[in-house]
Amino acid sequence: MSENQPQNKSQNSSEEIDLGNLFLVIGNMFKNFFEFLASIFSGLFHLIILFLIFIQKHFLKLLVAGLIGLIVGVFLDNKKGPRFISTMVVEPNFNSAQQLYNNINFYNELAMAGDSVALAEALDTNPNDEVLDITPAEASAFKSFSIESYADENQKIMLFDQFVRNLDTSTQKTINMEKFLENFNSFDARFHTISVVANNSFVAKKSQPAIISSIQRNAYFESQKNISIENLNIQDSIVKMQLTEIDSLQKLYKLVLLKEAEKPLQGTNISLGEGKGSENKEMALIRERNELKENIVELNEERANKSSIINIISDFPRRGVEIKGFTKSYVFMLPVTLIGVCLLLLSLLQLNKFLKSYKN
């Protein structure tokens, strides 16, 4: 009994030493962690103080830069006057989206360059006519032209479905949605938004016929449209011919059934197989007739969609909407820009001074 007591005491003391070391290690870990956090906050506080000292030292310079930007911004805002934006949504057909983008970018370059004469000529719906639809004075009101595609996830899925339907079965296995989206560009979208910014709220509406006719005058797109309409008419005539043949067959089946029904029953021989076969043929004709009707509806929808090279989903409004917003004005942008440039230059000078002192 006396031998076990010293042994138990030694075990208890060793366990107490191990637990003490464990708590000591945990305590040191928390201590180091909080000291690390304190050093981070101390460093951030030090940087903030240095920045405030820098601002205090160069406050007058920054104030002068801001005042200059404010004065120039007020002058430019008053000089440029109000600006109006007008938007139009279109649906290009026959791969004419790229040509549309090229035309819009060309108009934008002329507007940005201030070449009102060339822009008025470019926006003329009838180049052979000496009278311009938009005068150079009106063309000078245009400030920018832009175009961007509009395609949400649902439209992309529909475009992918149409794309896959036109492929053979072996190629369909190698194409997935991710690969299709990787190669998807703005020209593949179905709808596109054209935006016009001008000083005059009415000139955007006057430019709409020229923007559309510039694509419709293209001989290639006109040829593609005519061929498409001709093919749709041929398909429509074929489907209607098939419908007529089905109607004739249905009448024939009904006549045969009536003749069979008029025959007197001979004995007890009743052929159930023939009646069932005739009924199946009749149901097959009805299903085929319904499918042909659906094809006619689809052809009519496609004919309406392909009747123009560019479908106008939403016209330019009669009058543009004035662009408002303090952040888009020169009164805001110029002071912020000048103060930012001033801060950058002063920082570079301070850095150069520090590097020289560090070198010495």
pLDDT in tens, the chain (360 residues): 545 555 555 555 665 556 667 777 787 888 888 888 888 988 889 889 888 888 888 889 889 988 998 898 888 877 777 889 999 999 999 889 999 999 999 999 999 998 999 999 999 887 777 667 888 999 999 999 999 987 666 666 666 766 666 666 666 666 666 666 666 667 778 889 999 999 888 999 999 999 999 898 888 998 988 998 899 889 888 888 888 888 788 777 777 777 777 776 555 444 444 445 555 777 777 788 888 888 888 888 888 888 889 999 999 999 988 887 777 778 888 889 999 999 999 888 888 888 888 777
CB 71 within 8 A of CB 80: no
- Express each pLDDT in 101-137 by its tens digit: 999 999 999 999 989 999 999 998 877 776 678 889 9
Q: What are phi and psi of 311, to 5 degrees?
A: -90, 130
Alpha-carbon dihedral sign for residues 308, 310, 313, 315: negative
DSSP codes joined into one string, 193-250: EEEEEESSSSHHHHHHHHHHHHHHT-HHHHHHHHHHHHHHHHHHHHHHHHHHHHHHHH
- Express each pLDDT in 237-291 by its tens digit: 888 888 888 878 877 777 777 777 777 655 544 444 444 555 577 777 778 888 8
User: Tell me, what DSSP letter sits at residue 254?
Assistant: H
For the whole model, what pTM was predicted? 0.64
The residue among 212, 222, 201, 221 whose CA lies nearest residue 315 is 212
CA distance 242 to 301: 20
CA distance 265 to 97: 71
The residue among 97, 107, 86 whose CA lies nearest residue 186 is 97
Domain residue ranges of the chain, discontinuous segments joined by +: 82-151+189-218+313-330, 226-256+278-308
